[in-house]
Amino acid sequence: MPSLTFLGAAGTVTGSKHLLDLGTHRILIDCGLFQGLKELRDRNWHPLPIAPAAIDALILTHAHLDHCGYLPRLVAGGFRGRVFCTPGTKDLCSLVLPDSAKIQEEDAREANQQGFSRHQPALPLYTAVDAARALTMLQPVGYDRPVPVVPGVEVAFLSAGHLLGSAYARVRLADGKTVLFGGDLGRYSRPVLPDPSAVESADVLLVEATYGDRLHPEDDDGAQLAAIVNDTVSRGGKLIVPAFAIGRVEEVIYWLKRLEEANRVPALPVYVDSPMAARALRFYSERLDELDTDLKPAARGLSVFATQRMTTVASVQQSIELVQSHRPAIVIASSGMATGGRVLHHLAATLPSPKNTVLFVGFQAEGTRGRQLVDGAKLIRIKGRDIPVAAKIAKIDSMSAHADAGEILRWLSGFSRPPSMTYLVHGEKGALDALSVRIQQERQWPTHVAAYLEQVEL
């Protein structure tokens, strides 16, 4: 009897890893890093309950680190199978995995230099060599094209509308049964990304519940962003936007461009302080036909993702100069939850002044600096220093790339028959429980909130 074991994103939003054990073969669906709370991050260091060498193949739903960022560690641990993903995911993985390795190595190095690690010496979770090796194992597969993964089992990727290349993975077992791994679900009627594609059936379904207990605010045509930009300009400050280098940057720039064109905000210098974000923008521009149809042919080309005074900050020296500058500007830098990356230097420099604004545009997981700031922390620890928070902290939920409860239910309403079981994953407890109850009440489907390391029979 095939079984499924939840090795991550069970009871939490990060660390997505689902092990499909067919008896003869084992397939891992997603291979994400745990992020946020220390107790969760520590799990990245625990051995998996299965030897990496015993996993035959891997399927990635998309290139966010909480879905792919553990892959180099798996490879370092002996995994030698193929990694199936869409071409867009392969593109973005070529950016995020080496970058993640660099951050791991830098953090370990800094911790050793400054002695603020409890581990002597601090080691990286994986290295650039591990990441490069992992990239050679990626096997791109276009959307809606079933391919064999291991004998008798095939996977097809269906567009999820959550990120360039994002997909649900529909796995068809030897007996014809289908298991749909929902990945992260995108949203309806948003700019840049397409709507999540409709699915009619699955025998077993895994659905994400990041915003399972919430509704996003109605689309306000950029009004909130315009207000935040103009308010920051009136105080003569800088606007810092921590953003995942892949995913939110495109939408932030899309809106800034629209607001500038309508003269609703001044054309400020906009700095994309992330070489990776700039490269990701190029991948987006190259795959416009996979994006929202609103990105009309007339507007096609790189200009879709460029404001009037946009600069890509390439070198570290330029980034340092930008951190030290007090001139009004908009700075977009990663990481999105302020867990690492260049944004930390910008935050350390701007948080102490009430002139500045820090704007969060994505989900902030428990235990991250982003969550602490959004929750109103007055002191934030960055690189071993306590930084006082006087800057304005703002948050726009409408730019989320995750479906809210209503959108998840809308997507589920496309099913012509109920799955025999719907497992809820990728959410914090309140969101998982709330969505579980709603699916039971509104669709009368059996549901189960997956627990960490729980194994279920299919």
Give the residue with the Cβ less far from Zn ion, 157 or 271.
157
Give the residue with the Cβ less far from Zn ion, 184 or 273.
184
- Rounded least distance, CB 305 to Zn ion, Å: 19
**C-beta of residue 436 within 8 angstroms of C-beta of residue 447:** yes
**Considering the rule CB under 5 A, would residue 238 count as an interface residue with Zn ion?**
no
- Rounded least distance, CB 168 to Zn ion, Å: 12
Give the residue with the Cβ less far from Zn ion, 44 or 319.
44
- Rounded least distance, CB 283 to Zn ion, Å: 16
- Rounded least distance, CB 402 to Zn ion, Å: 7
**Residues 282, 36, 361, 295, CA torsion sign:** positive
- Rounded least distance, CB 109 to Zn ion, Å: 28
- Rounded least distance, CB 380 to Zn ion, Å: 25
**C-beta of residue 275 within 8 angstroms of C-beta of residue 314:** yes
**C-beta of residue 359 within 8 angstroms of C-beta of residue 252:** no
**C-beta of residue 411 within 8 angstroms of C-beta of residue 441:** no
Task: Give, as ranges, the residues between 277 and 336 that touch Zn ion (CB under 5 A).
Answer: none
How far apart (Å, rounded) are the C-alpha atoms in residues 136 and 90? 10
Give the residue with the Cβ less far from Zn ion, 184 or 260.
184
Q: Give me the 39-78 binding string for Zn ion, x by CB under 5 A, dash otherwise.
A: -------------------------x--------------
Give the residue with the Cβ less far from Zn ion, 21 or 407.
407
Give the residue with the Cβ less far from Zn ion, 25 or 64.
64
**Considering the rule CB under 5 A, would residue 184 count as an interface residue with Zn ion?**
yes
Give the residue with the Cβ less far from Zn ion, 64 or 73.
64
What is the distance between the terminal CA atoms of the chain, rounded to a whole angstrom? 7
Residues recorded for the chain:
458
- Rounded least distance, CB 98 to Zn ion, Å: 19
Q: Give me the 129-168 binding string for Zn ion, x by CB under 5 A, dash otherwise.
A: ----------------------------------------
**C-beta of residue 139 within 8 angstroms of C-beta of residue 82:** yes
Interface contacts to Zn ion, rule CB under 5 A: 64, 184
